[in-house]
């Protein structure tokens, strides 16, 4: 049952919640001036508010939050498909922060205690793939696609401007292991850079935790560069320091480039919706996630002979343990080839 309070306490709480929500809306504008963290927080709380309106829940108490979590995990809300563990947990983290901030402004002691108790909602645990797990040392932490599936996938994009842009984005994720935030910030001068040994490399100026790194590439004639250049020929950047991956929009039946850099959410949408790109995974066509591409990159590099520590540096991991999780324990070493260049 939903926990209820006396009408005056509940009315005061709902009024405070409304005031907090209005302040939250002010954070949402203007979008260019707010940080990515603020945008994600606003989006997560908007999702919770939408869920409460859909189900006519007056107060976001523990029961509501547990239903919110379970409905997202089981595909009952919002679109009939389960959301990813990271998305669910990010929304729950925002809800916890939200409730604690409201608790600081609540006068009623009973409500203050209840709010802090509600904020202790647990995250969704990452499930294991039981058909591959033989021991605790062989846990599958995500999807990795075989080379044949990747090759087929990279040939499936349409030839219009948006298709060429999306192919370039996936090439950077699959062929260089870049994060979505790193792809969004990439410039032409970063793309054609060199590491301290003079090798061709993609320069990442601000990776995770603001780390800087150089992702070494086999050469500037690789399939990754060819995919990006095919897009840039139709949508050249304004200058060397301008982001190369930008928005496109349809005009008179075709796509044209817009002189605005695309957001991370904008890129995520290319893997969602009815016309989402699909890739073969265990005999079925599935909608991939960007982090699946990073795992695939690590998996293919290791399978073709690249050393573990080198893969760690390429991905920008601080610990090799994280890299081992990305690669998994199902590498087919019988097909290992010399060198580490992966041709698509």
Residues 108 and 156 in one domain: no
Per-residue pLDDT of the chain (344 residues; tens, 9 = 90+): 345 667 777 777 888 888 777 777 665 445 555 566 777 888 888 899 889 888 888 888 888 898 999 999 888 888 877 888 888 988 999 999 888 888 888 877 888 888 888 888 888 876 543 333 333 344 445 789 999 999 999 999 999 998 999 999 999 999 999 999 999 999 999 999 998 888 899 999 988 888 899 999 988 888 999 999 999 998 888 888 888 998 888 776 667 776 677 888 888 888 876 678 899 998 999 989 888 999 999 999 988 888 888 898 899 988 888 888 888 755 544 444 444 455 55
Residues 111 and 152 in one domain: no
Residues 192 and 275 in one domain: yes
Q: Is 126 within the bounds of a domain? A: no
Residues 34 and 92 in one domain: yes
197-200, long-range: CB within 8 Å, 24+ apart, which pairs? Answer: none
Residues 81 and 216 in one domain: no
Q: Is 132 within the bounds of a domain? A: no
Residues 93 and 156 in one domain: no
SS3 content of the chain, % helix, strand, coil (to 5): 50, 10, 40
Number of domains in the chain: 2
- Report d(CA 25, CA 152) in Å as an integer: 44
**Axis-axis angle for helices 62-73, 85-105 (nearest 10):** 160
Among candidate residues 97, 118, 139, the one where a domain is terminated: 118
Residues 48 and 187 in one domain: no
What are the residues whose beta carbons fall under 8 Å from the beta carbon of 57, sequence distance 6 or more? 2, 51, 64
Residues 76 and 171 in one domain: no
- Specify whether the CB–CB gap between 90 and 44 falls below 8 A: yes
Give the range of the structural domain holding residue 326, as residue numbers without chain letter.
147-335
282: which 2 tokens? 């265990």
Residues 167 and 264 in one domain: yes
């Amino acid at each position: 049952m939903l926990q209820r309070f006396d009408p005056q306490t509940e009315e005061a709480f709902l009024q405070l919640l409304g005031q907090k929500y209005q302040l939250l809306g002010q954070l949402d504008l203007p979008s260019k001036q707010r940080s990515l963290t603020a945008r994600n927080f606003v989006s997560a709380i908007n999702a919770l508010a939408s869920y409460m309106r859909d189900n006519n829940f007056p107060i976001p108490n523990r029961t509501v939050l547990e239903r919110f979590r379970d409905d997202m995990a089981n595909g009952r809300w919002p679109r009939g498909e389960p959301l990813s563990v990271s998305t669910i947990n990010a929304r729950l983290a925002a809800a916890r922060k939200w409730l604690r901030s409201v608790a600081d402004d609540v006068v009623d002691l009973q409500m203050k205690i209840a709010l802090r108790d509600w904020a202790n909602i647990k995250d969704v645990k990452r499930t294991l793939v039981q058909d591959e797990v033989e021991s605790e040392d062989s846990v599958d932490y995500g999807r990795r696609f075989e080379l044949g599936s990747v090759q087929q996938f990279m040939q499936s994009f349409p030839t219009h401007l948006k298709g060429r842009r999306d192919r370039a984005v996936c090439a950077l994720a699959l062929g260089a292991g870049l994060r979505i935030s790193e792809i969004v910030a990439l410039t032409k001068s970063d793309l054609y850079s060199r590491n301290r040994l003079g090798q061709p490399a993609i320069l990442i100026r601000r990776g995770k935790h603001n780390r800087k790194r150089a992702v070494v590439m086999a050469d500037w004639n690789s399939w990754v560069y060819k995919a990006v250049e095919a897009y840039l020929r139709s949508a050249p950047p304004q200058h060397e320091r301008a982001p190369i991956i930008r928005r496109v929009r349809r005009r008179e039946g075709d796509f044209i480039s817009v002189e605005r850099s695309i957001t991370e959410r904008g890129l995520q949408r290319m893997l969602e919706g009815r016309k989402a790109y699909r890739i073969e995974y265990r005999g079925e066509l599935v909608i991939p996630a960007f982090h699946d591409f990073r795992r695939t990159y690590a998996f293919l590099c290791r399978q073709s002979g690249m050393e573990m520590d080198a893969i760690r540096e390429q991905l920008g991991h601080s610990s090799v343990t994280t890299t081992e999780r990305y690669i998994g324990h199902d590498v087919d070493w019988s097909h290992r080839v010399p060198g580490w260049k992966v041709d698509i």
